[in-house]
Structure 1
């Protein structure tokens, strides 16, 4: 029988703590060999779902299938879902070798096999030669690698990571982020990674699951999540976005002409889904997609007054207010020493504007 490409299949998963309905009808399929990130603010359900997959929480309704097996009634150690925690959860009285070997010891694997698998896992995370050290003798980055090796040594089909880099400083965090992604790709691992850090999610993932109050708002590639958000919540949560109310005046062949602004200007934009004439929509424009003093060929125009600006190294960020008092953010790159001031026109090409339905929030 041919092996299914779906490694994890969640069907109508619900979890309730007291009166708090934390997970609401979660349906999700995850393919083998992918780096998947659960992204969202604190309290949105992402860690609860991760721990429900691992078996640390019992779900109240639904099914969890791993590698074609229903695992609802299996304890964590029988699910094949090793987890790397935020605080690493290393045993302080054990050496690095013994920490990594712990799961294999529990399973009573032969001593020779344990030695071989621990050495291989240590090599994968660049810890060879540190077998006899104790956790307190290691840096935060090294401890993180020990926790990762302890997961890798189990040869499991899926590895779960719960904000594992949050205790590291910014520079080390970036280094370990690259290492994690490299290990995942080299070994073809399936990884589910929980974070509230948008940059982390965008830079590491094959696909991102955006959570909103216990539900999945969108599941897609980093590019889709950033440039084609399905809801205003996703657009607002990922990066910085400008929103403009508009009304559909024509829809034909996947193209929507919408009216916006006080002057009733129109712009024609490719629409991802069918829109009705007269329907109210929201236009999303990223700050980097807007231009100050745009060329006459720009499709979308707004007049505004620059209230302040901020120098951010590679770009100058401008804060404007338009004719109706709405704030806009525009990022200008590679402008040298030129700084704009006063009343300006800002504009964007139609293919840089994304339409969201008003009710998709």
Structure 2
């Protein structure tokens, strides 16, 4: 019986010398999803990708693909083609021959190879460029060739290791949109490695956030951004404000917390199970704060604007509150209106996210 789980990682560990790179990784990935491994350099995301592909052998744990444990299978038998950061194209081969390489190795019939290569080239908008060589193509075109070479294998999973990092910003955005469209159109299962938060948020069905070889959170872009499980995730994804607070009431997923010098309180929904008296962190995104007079029941405080920065679609303010804590507030669609001096900043209660103080 076919399960919707295509990739199942069970207690995966990988050690290089004295460096424990992957620490008890447990992860299930569904068919047809675009999954992003996100984190800073050295966090283990590329090592895990290469372990799935079979380029690394895991030291402990199991890698299951489509119901089969593949720990002992070589890369070419796993059905997990990989698109590398540097594309890894053969410079002496034409575009057609680069894309057809895997099928040639499998000794597929010539007619089938022709048909599948032409279909893959059409999917990535390379039709008509069959006879060109890699050095005759732009970076974006080379990236498409590498993607077509993976697509042509009709594989269960396609692995992408920071494939857009060599492109300029504008081209990155264009190819990002194309990749997501191809994945959705063909129903592909894609695992994409990046350290770029915008790429992760804009392309993914699910994001895996790595922290020093472990998974801190696995969830949708909305959950990762607005409901981070740890301070590390909240701080790594975008810009955020943190404030110390204490739980004064908790009942059925609703928590009232006390914060600030005046002992103000705010009541908000939370998925955390909290105890009265517990010290927590409030996480508030800059775009969730407003500079205006507060309404009853909202999160609010007084702050002094120290400086501001115009960022096109928004004005970013840097404030200091009455206890010397710094805050960042983003004001959108401001026109010519700007603020100075002492102001009140507010946020709707549902925009306040509570994080338990469990980080080391």
Calculate the TM-score normalised by the size of structure 1. 0.99
Distance in 1 of aligned mates of 2:295 and 2:217: 36
Check conservation: 2:38, 2:193, Cα contact below 8 A.
yes
**3-state DSSP class of the match of 1:100?**
helix
Match of residue 127 from structure 1: 126
Report if the CA contact (8 A) 1:230-1:360 is conserved. no
The answer to whether 1:204 aligns with 2:203 is yes
**Range with greater deviation from structure 2 (23-32 or 247-256):** 247-256
The CA distance in 1 between the partners of 2:113 and 2:297, in whole Å, is: 64
Q: Does 1:53 align with 2:41?
A: no
Q: How many residues align?
A: 360
Query: How big is the shift at 1:296?
Result: 2.5
Match of 2:224 in 1: 225
Structure 1 counterpart of 2:306: 307
Whether contact under 8 Å (1:157, 1:190) holds in the other structure is yes
Off by >3 Å, runs of 4+ in structure 1: none
Residues 287 and 331, structure 1, Cα contact 8 Å, conserved in 2: yes
Matched, 1:340 2:332: no
Could you tell me how far apart the structure 1 residues matched to 2:252 and 2:126 are? 57
Decide whether the 8 Å contact of 2:286 with 2:330 is kept in 1. yes
Which residue does the alignment assign to 1:244?
Answer: 243
Aligned counterpart, 1:10: 9
Residues 256, 268 of structure 1: 8 Å contact kept: yes
Residue ranges of structure 1 left out of the alignment (5+ in a row) = none
Within 2, Cα distance between the matches of 1:257 and 1:209?
Answer: 30
Gaps in structure 2 of 5+ consecutive residues: none
Q: Would you say the 8 A contact 2:81–2:159 is kept in 1?
A: yes
1:294 to partner: Cα distance = 3.3
Deviation by residue 1:257-291 (Cα, 9 ceiling, x = unmatched): 10000111111111212110000000000000000
- Aligned position for 1:167: 166
Higher alpha-carbon deviation: 322-331 or 288-297: 288-297
The equivalent residue for 1:102 is 101
1:21-64 CA-to-partner distances (Å, cap 9, x unmatched) read 00000000000000000000000000000000000011100000
Deviates more, 1:244-253 or 1:26-35: 244-253
| Alpha-carbon distance in 2 for matches of 1:258, 1:216 | 28
Contact 1:298 1:348 (C-alpha < 8 Å) held by counterparts: no
8 Å CA contact 1:294–1:348 kept in 2: the answer is: no
Q: TM-score, normalised by structure 2?
A: 0.99
TM-superposition CA deviations, 1:213-241 (whole Å, max 9, x none): 00000000000000000000000000000
For the Cα contact (< 8 Å) 2:294–2:345, is it kept in 1? no
Is the aligned partner of 1:323 residue 2:326?
Answer: no
Q: Aligned partners of 2:296 and 2:248: how far apart in 1?
A: 21
Quick one: distance in 1 between partners of 2:342 and 2:231? 28
Q: How much has 1:360 moved relative to structure 2?
A: 4.5
SS at match of 1:217: strand
SS at match of 1:155: coil
CA distance in 1, matches of 2:44, 2:302: 41
1:74 paired to 2:73: yes
- Computed over aligned residues only, the root mean square deviation of the Cα atoms, in angstroms, reads 0.8
In structure 2, C-alpha distance between the alignment counterparts of 1:268 and 1:57, rounded to whole Å: 48
* CA displacement at 1:254 relative to structure 2: 1.3
Partner Cα distance (1:252, 1:58) in 2: 47
Q: CA deviation at 1:297?
A: 3.5
Equivalences for 1:171-210 in 2 at 5 Å?
171-210=170-209
Residues 291-313 of structure 1: per-residue CA shift (max 9 Å, x gap)? 00233346111211101000011
3-state SS of 2:217 partner:
strand
**Would you say the 8 A contact 1:34–1:191 is kept in 2?**
yes
Between the aligned partners of 1:129 and 1:302, the Cα distance in structure 2 is 62
Q: Is residue 23 from structure 1 mapped to residue 22 from structure 2 by the alignment?
A: yes
